[in-house]
């Protein structure tokens, strides 16, 4: 069941006493990469009138690019570093000296990335530093700078003990990099997609914890340098991809996404967490949201929202007590994602995002500036209400509650309701039943003792929800595995489905009634389909997909042997292995084994031979006495489709030795295998 809190529309600027934000009509395309994918942009205003924007762009690898706005124009697009790995997800933070600190994730594969750091000062980038590396995966870093100009970084760390057993780690630089500290302290659950804010000496962290379709938001902060025990802050609703900031009084403000296609807001004021409330005014596809606070403690938020079948970026602002104005659309695209907003020291705001072109798998980074202007006095009443539920089958009984409304400088004297179906009501709390299907705009109008009015609205959808259903072929296979997805079985009882959105479970998404996706790595994936009907109602269904791998042989051994008798002497390596029962257990048909050799210390293996699946030894003959220890061997399993297991170096000896009797034993054992 969904509950929403509706923000004021009529007279929406009256409560923002310091400034009103106005946006220019057109955003600026900063990447201009028509044949590439430019994504995950971040923005940072600095030095009064300058702006730095960074993003990652896919070439052979993902590389980091930047542009600087100064003296009234944008400088050239410039690559920051030349690497042979994928550099992604740049994040920025500014210190008191105007130096801008950056972190990002970098690696050769999606499952093996490390955390990097650099800074921008005087128009130049410093050398890059790898601040954390492990045998597993480190992703999605965030950065902040405290009042001593010390940078702090948190990220998601894969411990590798079990699939999806992740934690949130923290390091900071005070001369040298210190830590890491375990912030999330999770055991047996997944902690991912953290957000981070630093103010004064305090650090605030918020992250997702749980597992697919059961995500909770957990919060922790530092006191005297020590992280507090994480607490669950959204007990009544699931939370995704959160944003966090703290105002000058230390009050905490968060935005987050949800399965219910809304953007939600919560705060912690004077140590007490509020209930959540809806701040978006339209369908919100789950995606990263962002919230910032300016020098006057005005909150600024951005998120992705669907309007007429197109995903655009919306902006909302609020007071430090969490009273939100009606959001406005600031982009004019079709598939915009992952916005970031940062205010400057003049009250202006700077927003970046990227827009995808699904047909060509390309995209560009966009920037827009919001200009602060003069606002009015805060003397109008503030209209807020909840409607529970907001959608359902007829007859639909809805409870409307306006107890959150208030008047800053007086009292509210009347609450008038228009339910959108030709009926009305009065009072701070009312029930109303919608008998027929349709989309109804429910309106609350307030009047205070000064005769000033404000209104709030929300849409009530009375309709049968769509039914989401899909098939995937195959449902199990060996990586790389291409799977066909078909949602043709989905239906809407009283309308039509207008949008099919896919989450493939590996950080990639798609659209369309039918689609295909290739999984390059083994693992258990949860595939989700969300369908939306012509009334804006959604339905979600998920299925599990198992992507296997070919398992390497067990107990691979190699021994350097001397075989001799009265007539000849021969040196050889005897390579042996055992069948891996996991291949049969998972239905993988091993058809042959490949035997590889390399010089000790080298990273390059050469293929020596291939033997049938019922053979478990190989002899590398014709070697010299001094070849002991020169070579290393490995054996891989190959299935009937040509998929091969990973290479694991054999253990064993490179020195033939012992008495003549031992050599005789070697000869006899070799002879037993038809040497």
**Is residue 473 over pLDDT 50?**
yes
Strand partners, 19: none
pLDDT digits (tens, 9 = 90+) for 335-354: 999 999 999 998 899 999 99
More confident: 441 or 516: 516
Q: Are 264 and 215 in contact (CB under 8 A)?
A: no
**Is residue 375 over pLDDT 60?**
no
Closest CA to 375 of 22, 23, 14: 14
Integer Cα distance of 289 and 53 in angstroms: 18
Integer Cα distance of 394 and 586 in angstroms: 48
**Is residue 360 over pLDDT 80?**
no
Residue 160 is predicted with a pLDDT of 61
Residue 667 is predicted with a pLDDT of 33
Out of 184-188, 249-253, 275-279, 531-535, pick the least confident: 184-188
- Mean pLDDT value of segment 560-573: 87
Cα→Cα distances 46→52, 142, 259, 349, 519, Å: 8, 19, 36, 12, 42
pLDDT digits (tens, 9 = 90+) for 86-123: 999 999 999 999 999 999 999 988 778 999 999 999 99
Strand partners, 593: 611, 637
Out of 167-176, 537-546, 635-644, pick the least confident: 167-176
pLDDT band at residue 441 using 50, 70 and 90 as cut-offs: confident
Q: Are 51 and 41 in contact (CB under 8 A)?
A: no
Rounded to the nearest angstrom, the gap between the alpha carbon of residue 600 and the centroid of all alpha carbons in its chain is 41
413-426 burial, b at 16+ Cβ within 10 Å, e below that, comes to: eebebbbbbeeeee
Query: What is the reported pTM?
Result: 0.62
Residue 666: strand, helix, or coil: helix
3-state SS of 249-297?
A: CCCEEEEEECCCCCEEEEEEECCEECCCEECCCCCCCCCCCEEEECCCC
pLDDT digits (tens, 9 = 90+) for 379-424: 678 889 999 998 888 999 999 999 999 988 788 999 999 999 999 9
**Is residue 206 over pLDDT 90?**
yes
pLDDT band at residue 377 using 50, 70 and 90 as cut-offs: very low
Rounded to the nearest angstrom, the gap between the alpha carbon of residue 344 and the centroid of all alpha carbons in its chain is 26
pLDDT digits (tens, 9 = 90+) for 591-615: 999 999 999 989 899 999 999 999 9
**Is residue 674 over pLDDT 80?**
no
Residue 159: strand, helix, or coil: coil
Out of 16-30, 37-51, 106-120, pick the least confident: 16-30
H/E segment holding residue 671: helix 660-672
**Is residue 303 over pLDDT 60?**
yes
- Residues with Cβ within 8 Å of 576's Cβ and at least 6 positions away in sequence, in order, are 555, 556, 557, 558, 616, 617
Sign of CA dihedral 401, 405, 411, 417: negative
H/E segment holding residue 581: helix 581-585
Q: Which pair of tokens denotes residue 295?
A: 């020098």
Sign of CA dihedral 427, 428, 434, 440: positive
Cα→Cα distances 437→2, 145, 396, 465, 483, Å: 18, 53, 9, 11, 38
- Mean pLDDT value of segment 181-203: 88
H/E segment holding residue 663: helix 660-672
Q: What percent of the chain stands above pLDDT 90?
A: 60
**Is residue 213 over pLDDT 70?**
no
**Is residue 376 over pLDDT 70?**
no
**Is residue 509 over pLDDT 60?**
yes
First to last CA, the chain: 74
| Mean pLDDT for all residues in the chain | 87
**Is residue 13 over pLDDT 50?**
no
Count the Cβ atoms, other than its own, within 10 Å of residue 149: 13
pLDDT band at residue 568 using 50, 70 and 90 as cut-offs: confident
- Mean pLDDT value of segment 52-76: 94
Closest CA to 40 of 29, 52, 53, 27: 53
pLDDT digits (tens, 9 = 90+) for 637-671: 999 989 999 888 777 666 554 323 333 333 333 43
Closest CA to 227 of 254, 194, 249: 194
Residue 137 is predicted with a pLDDT of 87
Residue 188 is predicted with a pLDDT of 66
**Is residue 10 over pLDDT 90?**
no
Beta strand ranges found along 436-589 (DSSP E): 438-448, 453-462, 471-473, 476-478, 481-486, 497-503, 509-511, 514-519, 523-533, 538-548, 554-564, 569-578
Residue 671: what are its φ and ψ, rounded to 5°?
-60, -30
Q: Hey, which of 12-21, 153-162, 380-389 has the most confident mean pLDDT?
A: 380-389
Q: What percent of the chain stands above pLDDT 70?
A: 90
């Amino acid at each position: 069941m969904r509950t929403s809190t509706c923000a004021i529309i009529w007279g929406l600027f009256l409560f923002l006493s310091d400034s009103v934000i106005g946006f220019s009509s057109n955003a600026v395309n900063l990447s201009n990469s028509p044949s590439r994918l430019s994504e995950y942009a971040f923005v940072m205003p600095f030095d009064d009138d300058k702006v730095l924007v960074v993003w990652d762009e896919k070439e052979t690898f993902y590389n980091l690019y930047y542009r600087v706005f100064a003296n009234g124009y944008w400088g050239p697009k410039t690559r920051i570093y030349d690497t042979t790995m994928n550099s992604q997800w740049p994040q920025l933070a500014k210190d008191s000296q105007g130096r801008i600190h950056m972190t990002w994730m970098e690696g050769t594969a999606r499952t093996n990335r490390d955390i990097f750091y650099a800074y921008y000062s005087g128009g130049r980038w410093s050398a890059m530093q790898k601040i954390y590396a492990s045998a597993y995966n480190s992703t999605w870093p965030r950065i902040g700078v405290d009042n001593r100009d010390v940078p702090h970084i948190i990220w998601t760390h894969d411990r590798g003990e079990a699939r999806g057993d992740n934690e949130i780690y923290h390091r900071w630089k005070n001369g040298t990099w210190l830590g890491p500290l375990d912030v999330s302290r999770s055991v047996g659950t997944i902690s991912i997609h953290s957000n981070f804010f630093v103010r004064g000496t305090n650090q605030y962290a918020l992250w997702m914890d749980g597992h697919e379709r059961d995500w909770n938001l957990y919060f922790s902060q530092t006191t005297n340098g020590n992280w507090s025990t994480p607490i669950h802050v959204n007990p009544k609703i699931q939370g995704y991809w959160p944003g966090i900031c703290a105002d000058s009084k230390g009050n905490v403000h968060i935005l987050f996404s949800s399965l219910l296609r809304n953007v939600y807001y919560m705060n912690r004021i004077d140590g007490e967490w509020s209930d959540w409330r809806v701040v978006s005014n339209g369908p919100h596809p789950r995606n990263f949201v962002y919230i910032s606070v300016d020098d006057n403690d005005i909150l600024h938020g951005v998120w992705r929202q669907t309007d007429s079948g197109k995903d655009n970026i919306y902006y909302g602002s609020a007071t430090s007590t969490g009273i939100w104005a009606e959001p406005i659309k600031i982009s004019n695209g079709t598939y915009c994602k992952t916005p970031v907003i940062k205010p400057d020291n003049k009250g202006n705001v700077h927003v970046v995002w990227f827009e995808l072109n699904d047909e060509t798998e390309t995209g560009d980074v966009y920037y827009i500036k919001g200009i602060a202007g003069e606002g009015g006095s805060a003397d109008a009443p503030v209209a807020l209400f909840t409607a529970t539920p907001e959608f359902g089958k007829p007859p639909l009984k809805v409870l409307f509650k306006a107890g959150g409304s208030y008047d800053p400088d007086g009292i509210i004297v009347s609450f008038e309701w228009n339910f959108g179906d030709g009926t009305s009501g009065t009072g701070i709390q009312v029930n109303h039943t919608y008998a027929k299907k349709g989309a109804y705009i429910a309106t609350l109008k307030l009047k205070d003792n000064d005769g000033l009015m404000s209104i709030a609205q929300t849409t009530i959808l009375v309709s049968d929800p769509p039914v989401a259903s899909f098939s995937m072929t195959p449902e199990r296979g060996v990586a790389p595995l291409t799977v066909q997805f078909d949602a043709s079985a989905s239906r809407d009882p009283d309308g039509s489905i207008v949008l099919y959105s896919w989450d493939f479970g590996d950080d990639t998404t798609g659209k369309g009634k039918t689609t295909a996706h290739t999984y390059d790595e083994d693992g258990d994936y949860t595939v989700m389909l969300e369908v939306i009907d012509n009334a804006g109602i959604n339905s979600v269904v998920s299925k599990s997909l198992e992507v296997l791998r070919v398992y390497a042989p067990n107990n691979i051994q190699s021994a350097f042997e001397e075989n001799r008798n009265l007539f000849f002497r021969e040196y050889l390596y005897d390579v042996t292995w055992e069948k891996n029962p996991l291949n049969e257990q998972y239905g993988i048909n091993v058809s042959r084994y490949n035997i590889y050799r390399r010089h000790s210390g080298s990273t390059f293996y050469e293929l020596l031979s291939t033997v049938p699946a019922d053979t478990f030894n190989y002899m590398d003959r014709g070697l010299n006495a001094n070849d002991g220890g020169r070579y290393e061997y490995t054996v891989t399993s190959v299935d009937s489709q040509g998929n091969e297991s990973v290479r694991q170096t054999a253990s064993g000896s490179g020195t033939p030795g012992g008495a003549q009797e031992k050599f005789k034993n070697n000869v006899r054992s070799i002879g037993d295998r038809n040497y």
